[in-house]
Structure 1
Amino acid sequence: MRLFMASAALLVSMIGIAHAADTQPRHWQQGLSRIDLVHQDLGAADREVIQARVDFEPGVTSPRHAHPGVEVAYVISGTFEYQLEGRAPVTLKAGDSLFIPEGVAHVAKNVGQDKGSELATYIVKKGEPVLILKP
């Protein structure tokens, strides 16, 4: 039984690693890239979690976009200004977090002198693009 449980745990771990998905950088635009770290079904209400590291060169701004679910942005390094639709801009530094509600259009800009990185955690609807560009 212990061998079975250990084998099952190993299999679940391997499935989680396989779902950790795409570790190749995706370049949205010059100076902005995303590496998906985790992509996992939550097993509830058609939701999944995606976690990604997003890297910004100095002065780079993301395109205006929204998500089909919530995002929690955690600044790993650098200084960012986040502008959420209908709210005043907020500046975050390494160690700061921001909750972005479902469907709220926003942009992020690296306002620091060096490359900046954020850890973005999305809890979104399955089968929909994680990012929806907004005019």
Structure 2
Amino acid sequence: MTADPSSGAAHDALAGSLKRTEIQRAPLSVAGREIVQVRTEIPPGVESGWHIHPGEEVGYIVAGTVEMRIAGRPTLLLQAGDGFLIPPRVPHNARDLGPGVGEMLSTYLVEVGQPLAAFTEPPDSASR
């Protein structure tokens, strides 16, 4: 993921469907890892698309209602004040259920030099 310093906008595989703003990025105390914090806004009815991250995602719902589908786990219905954890390279998909914009704050503990997010195929169990 790269950021445009003039706008604070995050640019990666998910940037086309979501508004993502990188808040901070710094080396982690674990060699080869960095910490990246991102604020994501998901318009009503929009899905992130199935994707993975090269490290853990520790998230918190700031506003709205978000359906979080994580491969191999039951679907989560998250509302403002709820947190979530996603293991490295586990496919997942977030969808804002509306009526307003879903907002989340995610902190990633990821491998240096890897894209923050990459689209992937949905798991077999994810078909609607």
**Identity value in percent:** 36
Instruction: State the match for 1:28 in structure 2.
Output: 15
What are the within-5 Å matches in structure 2 for residues 1-135 of structure 1?
A: 23-24=8-9, 26=11, 28-30=15-17, 32-135=18-121
Higher radius of gyration, 1 or 2: 1
TM-score normalised per structure 1: 0.79
CA distance in 1, matches of 2:19, 2:70: 20
Cα offsets for 1:101-127 (capped at 9, x unmatched):
011000000012001100011000001
Greater share of residues in helix? 1
Deviation at 1:86, TM superposition (A): 1.1
Contact 2:9/2:19, CA 8 A, preserved across alignment: no
The 4+ residue runs of structure 1 with deviation greater than 3 A are: none
TM-score normalised per structure 2: 0.83
Q: How many aligned positions are there?
A: 115
CA distance in 1, matches of 2:29, 2:60: 24
Higher relative contact order (CA 8 A, sep 6+): 2
CA distance in 2, matches of 1:73, 1:111: 17
Secondary structure of 2:66's match?
strand
Deviation at 1:24, TM superposition (A): 2.8
